[in-house]
Structure 1
Amino acid sequence: MLRVPDASRSLTRHRLTMLSLVLVAIATQSGWSTDVAVPTEVDRIEEDWSLLLGEPDVENDSPQILNVISPFGTTEGEHAIFELNHCTQPEYLSGGLQLQRWTGPDTCVATTRTIDRGTLAIPAEEITYTMRMTLRDGTLYYSVRNGTSQTWGTFGDYGQYRLSVPTTATTLSGYRPDFSATESKVSFGSHRVKTFKIKQIRYYSLGKLVATDSTERVVHQYDATSAEATIPVVEETP
């Protein structure tokens, strides 16, 4: 559900009307909206993510998870990828965390990764973090904030995972929440993840929260009783 917070009551009647028109969710068979529109004036977006593990496999670096976020709702141009339990740029490394900036589906131009390359090994571990995009003074920033886990402890503080690029963009209204949900995935060992989802999305303008999208978008949910789950799984190192 989308709501406009009390702090936004100072907005003009015209702006509130515009918000009410654009913040519309359309139900789909997947259980979350298809392309919720965002406020027309927005310079910061935050996605709260939750990852609940089942039984990790240390030997195979399983599971492996990635997030995708874009200011324009496409991987054909500017976007970022956040990898958990593996790093792929410029070469594959097991464990750890890595934030990457891409300018197309085949061009990674910048990375930042954790010094701690711990590998997921704790059953039923829950990991939470926030994916953030910010426009400020002609610069687009990607960052990961407020991360909590048993494997890596807290992460994302003090600019630990932040990449930036100069931009002429003046708004993040091209962002699409369901692009993030569709492109993000458990890329390896999906049977070792119970749930992977967006819990909440927040929109800011000039430092003020202007809208909150509380639609829960479940990217992955493993059902151990399903017919697919009864098929033996053979894991290979990616």
Structure 2
Amino acid sequence: MYMRVLGTTACSIVALILSSCGGSTSSSEGMLGEIPAYYEKQGLDFCAQVSEIGKASGYSQDQETVEKVVKLAMDLSEKSKEEGKTLADKLIGKVVSYQETEGLPYKVVSDVTITDIELPSFTFNSFMFDELKVELKYQVVATEDISERYLFTYCFITDTEGNNLDCASFTGKAEGNPIAAGDTVTVADAIKIAMVSADVLNKFHTLKFVSEATYEEQRETINKQMEQWIKEYETKMTPEEKQ
């Protein structure tokens, strides 16, 4: 059944991954815990095992070889769901470090906590893990009239030295009337994080709350850097076709 669905895609990707691949990663405790290092290791181990299948078959793309690669991918998908959940559970309730800058129309008045984790899925069109989804919750008090029922909080995700690594906006909703100065608003929203090198993701440490103007000024630069990290990660996880 899966060969009918994935056969064409699997053949094209097997042509690319039936060669050796390398790379290593180190683990460090950050906002995302052990998740980045775990998923990078799974991806690299997958490449190494596929390389062995390729060598053993003489880099054939016949049905038997493709079936072995697809089965390996399916096993990895199931394994990563089970083992990844254990790592995700450790992060539930974790308090995230944050910093507030000047010019905000609100004041953060609670801890910023992780309430849920949606783990990356192993995608069969690319044989790579997709994005990680982290749900956060915190409370803010409006310091001025918002005149709407929604309050938008804009953040940069920084390392311990204050370098911007990613960006996101989180929305809080008031019940009933538009938000006025002094109102407390609960923000419960999620950030989607691309699976890039663990060396990058392990540095995710602090939420830096910034004004909308600052966010818009720097968002493009931050996104371009993330796009570059994504390309580098895809290269790391996708070996060149054997010559």
Q: Which TM-score applies when normalising by structure 1?
A: 0.26
> More strand by proportion, 1 or 2?
1
Of Structure 1 and Structure 2, the greater helix share is in: 2
Higher relative contact order (CA 8 A, sep 6+): 1
Which one has the largest radius of gyration?
2
